Amino acid sequence: MTDQRHPDIEIYVKNRSLDEIEAWLRQRFDGLSNDFSQGTVHEYKASLDGTAVPVMIHEKVVGKAWTSVWFKSDRTRWQKDLDCAIQAAADMDTQIRCIAGGWADGDEPDEWWKVENDTQEKIQWRTD
């Protein structure tokens, strides 16, 4: 079950601006359009092989350093959150975090992957 494709992908990006994250999305998708922006919340449609992928970016979601990037679809090139985190950390040269398990009953909600400098380690991260 651990190799099953996640129904959506969410990563947390450390210390990167909205412009830098948008540039990364343009690098990884065929197209990107902004559908809505208000304050620190931005909604986009990314296109990949003719399929629309809704993306929500929420800046400063955890403190001032972390921005959430949520692909609200399973139609990305990544199987799991960790796959996306590894790609994003390499491309943007920053630390990326993603949930280690899932959101099912019994999963540890504070266990996260910390991805940075070609390494991945499980950490406890309390975001509340």
* CATH code of 78's domain: 3.30.310
What tens digit of pLDDT does each residue of 50-69 get? 999 999 999 999 889 999 99
Residue 79 has which token pair? 């199987």
Tokens 């070609």 locate to 118
Could you tell me if residue 2 is inside a domain? no
Please tell me the distance from the alpha carbon of residue 34 to that of residue 8, in angstroms, as a whole number. 19
pLDDT band for position 105 (50/70/90)?
low
- Residue at 103 is within a domain: yes
For the chain, the distance separating the N- and C-terminal CA atoms, rounded to the nearest angstrom, is 28
For 72, the 3-state DSSP assignment is coil
The count of domains in the chain is 1
Q: Which domain holds residue 37?
A: 9-124
